[in-house]
Chain A
Amino acid sequence: GENVEQHPSTLSVQEGDSAVIKCTYSDSASNYFPWYKQELGKGPQLIIDIRSNVGEKKDQRIAVTLNKTAKHFSLHITETQPEDSAVYFCAAIAQGGKLIFGQGTELSVKP
């Protein structure tokens, strides 16, 4: 079945710097890759997603890139702000439609 690996597990950056989180997946048939942000005490929320027919997608300060050949995708956050501090999860859709998540990255943005 689908396996999603996410790195790093923790990431600390200075406000204004960029942050990059990387994920790999195992099922070459996967065609949908969302990213979720989880703030303390809340459920995860979708922040951006990408489908397999494109290689990059941007939404203001966040962007996601996808390399289907290498089976990896990345989240890029530019000009980080303290409110970006949270746990970020990548995910890939597995056979049958279930969403499999990575282990999460705890991002800390220091003022």
Chain B
Amino acid sequence: GAGVSQSPSNKVTEKGKDVELRCDPISGHTALYWYRQSLGQGLEFLIYFQGNSAPDKSGLPSDRFSAERTGGSVSTLTIQRTQQEDSAVYLCASSLDGVTGELFFGEGSRLTVL
């Protein structure tokens, strides 16, 4: 499809395990964002990629979180040694130019850490 695609849609893991969440942005979009949404909460900024610039990692909550964007397209968010407080929906969005353009969100990856 033409929208932002995220996988997996649901992930259940045990505390201490590593997880990888994938985001396929809309083709041609130069900006890519990751947000976290805990149950009934707002959208917490995690990381922002814009073209070839160094990513803005200021929202990552700890050094257990990391993200990369390969070839300016697909992005992977990795959470190492997961904790129960990491349970949330992780939303990816892309935009055409990353400055004042519309963000197109995927449907999210729901992570549950037991």
Contacts and interface: CB of A to CB of B under 8 A. Distances in A.
A43 B42 contact: no
Contacts of A45: 105
- Choose among B45, B93, B98 the residue with the greatest number of A CB atoms under 10 Å from its CB: B45
A99 interface: yes
B33 A41 contact: no
A90 B50 CA distance: 22
Interface string A57-75: 0000000000000000000
A17 to B, nearest CB: 24
B43 A44 contact: yes
A93 interface: yes
Please classify the interface of chain B as helix (H, G, I), strand (E, B), loop, or mixed, using the class held by over half of its residues: loop
B77 interface: no
Contact of B106 (A36, A43, A89, A100): A43
Contacts of A101: 35, 42-43, 45
Interface residues of B, number: 24
A46 B93 CA distance: 12
Contacts of B31: 97
A89 B42 contact: yes
Given A43-B106, A98-B56, A99-B33, A51 B45 contact: no
Contact of A46 (B91, B103, B108): B103
Given A32-B100, A89-B42, A97-B31, A43 B48 contact: no
B50 A89 contact: no
A31 interface: yes
Interface in A1-43: 1, 6, 31-32, 34, 36, 41-43
A103 B100 contact: no
Given A97-B31, A99-B33, 11 more contacts: A1-B58, A31-B100, A32-B99, A36-B103, A45-B105, A46-B103, A97-B48, A97-B50, A98-B45, A98-B59, A100-B45
14 contacts: A32-B99, A34-B103, A36-B103, A43-B107, A43-B108, A44-B43, A45-B105, A49-B102, A89-B42, A96-B48, A97-B56, A98-B33, A98-B59, A103-B42
